[in-house]
């Protein structure tokens, strides 16, 4: 039996057990997948416990992604580039390797919906961990430009300075945005608090894909995009895609995602 878990605080609402159970069935592997709550100060202890109980690895969710990176002995390039990790793999020699699959998760889900990201213009809202992971992976697809906007402007500038060797990145305030964009990604948690972002209408065209990383609810950002005739997507596909990449790391096989996404969408809408 392959033992896996997702560690978070909170973790009750995680959809990872359902996603991994569907993937495992598809791949014909037997898994036990648990939700593990960790007190904020106990992350290392929680991970060590799982390792000692012969778990093969763990997914890590809010607020432990930076600690997961720090806990690991080795880092895959995806985690090394951003300093946060959402997948841990426990090695037989007792060491732990960290990966980050959030970035490739959003790239795969956006590409599925609008085709190649190469040469597209992107407006990325937010400068937290999710924005950072997304920015690194998006830049690898060679978009024509990524414009970063964040409520706390200095954090967007820091992100630009960290990644500007990898592509054409600019920072802006919401008010100064002047050009239409092909893709707008909301990587802020504003949707969780039902807060409307002050995005000027002229960044939208009817072809613009407005992508909110939050899933399972219609956020003010998605409502605004719909009202103005743009394409919309929530972040459920990103969640499924990052999990599929996790399967590739643990089992050497990347499962098919479309049927799992459809099953999850039904579950979430109930
Ligand atoms: P962080 O806490 O690291 O960052 C939060 C970001 O949101 C910051 O840029 C913050 O701005 C901004 N923000 C928070 N509240 C508001 C607001 N009211 N108005 C404007 N900006 C706001 O979170 P993460 O980066 O880890 O996660 C961001 C979101 O992405 C979460 O909602 C999370 O659920 C989602 N997510 C989804 C995933 C998926 O698989 N679909 C995977 C990972 C994350 P400031 O710097 O000014 O504080």
Supply angle C-alpha 165, 60, 79, rounded to 5: 20
Q: Ligand 1: which of 109, 124, 188, 242 to mutate, most ligand atoms within 8 Å of CB? A: 188
Place of tokens 């040469």: 119
Residue 64 has which token pair? 């432990």
Backbone torsion region of residue 180, taken as left when φ is above 0, otherwise alpha when ψ lies between -120 and 50, otherwise beta? beta
Query: How many angstroms from the chain centroid is the CA of residue 134?
Result: 7
Task: Say if residue 206's pLDDT is above 90.
Answer: yes
Task: Say if residue 270's pLDDT is above 90.
Answer: no
Task: For the beta carbon of residue 269, count every other beta carbon within 10 angstroms.
Answer: 8
Separation between Cα atoms, residue 120 and residue 205, nearest integer Å: 13
Task: Say if residue 147's pLDDT is above 80.
Answer: yes
How big is the chain, counted in residues? 270
Q: Is the CB of 217 under 6 A from ligand 1?
A: no
Task: Say if residue 129's pLDDT is above 90.
Answer: no
Task: Say if residue 34's pLDDT is above 90.
Answer: yes
Q: Is the CB of 35 under 6 A from ligand 1?
A: no
Separation between Cα atoms, residue 168 and residue 236, nearest integer Å: 28
Q: How far is the CA of 124 from the centre of ligand 1 (A)?
A: 12
User: Is 35 annotated as catalytic?
Assistant: no
Task: Say if residue 266's pLDDT is above 90.
Answer: yes
Q: How far is the CA of 27 from the centre of ligand 1 (A)?
A: 33
Strand partners, 147: 123, 170
Per-residue confidence (pLDDT) for residue 44, from 0 to 100: 98
Residue 103 has which token pair? 């970035």
Residue nearest to atom 6 of ligand 1 (CA): 188
Q: How far is the CA of 132 from the centre of ligand 1 (A)?
A: 10
Place of tokens 């020699």: 93
Q: Is the CB of 171 under 6 A from ligand 1?
A: no
**Residue 269: band (very low, low, confident or very high) from pLDDT cuts 50, 70, 90:** confident
Query: How many CA atoms are closer than 13 Å to the CA of 261, on its beta-carbon side?
Result: 21
Q: How far is the CA of 104 from the centre of ligand 1 (A)?
A: 18
Q: Residue 5: what are its φ and ψ, rounded to 5°?
A: -155, 160
- Look at residues 113, 116, 80, 74 and name the one whose alpha carbon lies nearest to residue 93: 74
Element (DSSP H or E) covering residue 211: strand 209-212
Catalytic residue among 35, 41, 65, 196: 65
Supply angle C-alpha 231, 133, 120, rounded to 5: 40
pTM for the predicted model, two decimal places:
0.95
Residue nearest to atom 44 of ligand 1 (CA): 130
Average pLDDT in the chain: 96
Per-residue confidence (pLDDT) for residue 68, from 0 to 100: 98
């Amino acid at each position: 039996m392959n033992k896996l878990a997702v560690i978070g605080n909170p973790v009750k609402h995680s959809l990872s057990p359902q996603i991994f159970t569907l993937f495992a069935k598809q791949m014909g592997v037997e898994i036990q997948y648990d939700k593990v709550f960790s007190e904020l100060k106990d992350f290392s202890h929680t991970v060590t416990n799982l390792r000692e109980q012969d778990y093969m690895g763990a997914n890590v969710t809010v607020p432990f992604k930076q600690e997961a990176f720090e806990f690991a002995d080795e880092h895959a390039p995806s985690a090394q580039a951003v300093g946060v990790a959402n997948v841990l793999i426990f090695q037989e020699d007792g060491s732990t390797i960290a990966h980050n699959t959030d970035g490739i998760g959003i790239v795969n889900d956006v590409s599925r919906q609008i085709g190649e990201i190469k040469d597209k213009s992107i407006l990325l809202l937010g400068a937290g961990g999710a924005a950072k992971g997304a920015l690194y992976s998006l830049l690898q697809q060679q978009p024509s430009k990524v414009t970063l906007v964040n409520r706390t402007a200095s954090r967007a500038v820091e992100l630009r300075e960290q990644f500007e060797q990898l592509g054409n990145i600019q920072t802006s305030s919401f008010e100064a945005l002047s050009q239409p964009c092909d893709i707008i990604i909301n990587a802020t948690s504003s949707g969780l608090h039902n807060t409307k972002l002050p995005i000027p209408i002229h960044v939208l065209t009817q072809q613009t894909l407005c992508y909110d990383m939050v899933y399972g609810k219609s956020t003010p950002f998605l409502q605004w995009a719909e009202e103005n005739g743009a394409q919309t997507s929530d972040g459920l596909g990103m969640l499924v895609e990052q999990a599929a990449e996790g399967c590739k790391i643990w089992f050497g096989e990347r499962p098919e995602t479309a049927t799992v996404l459809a099953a999850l969408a039904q579950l979430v809408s109930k």
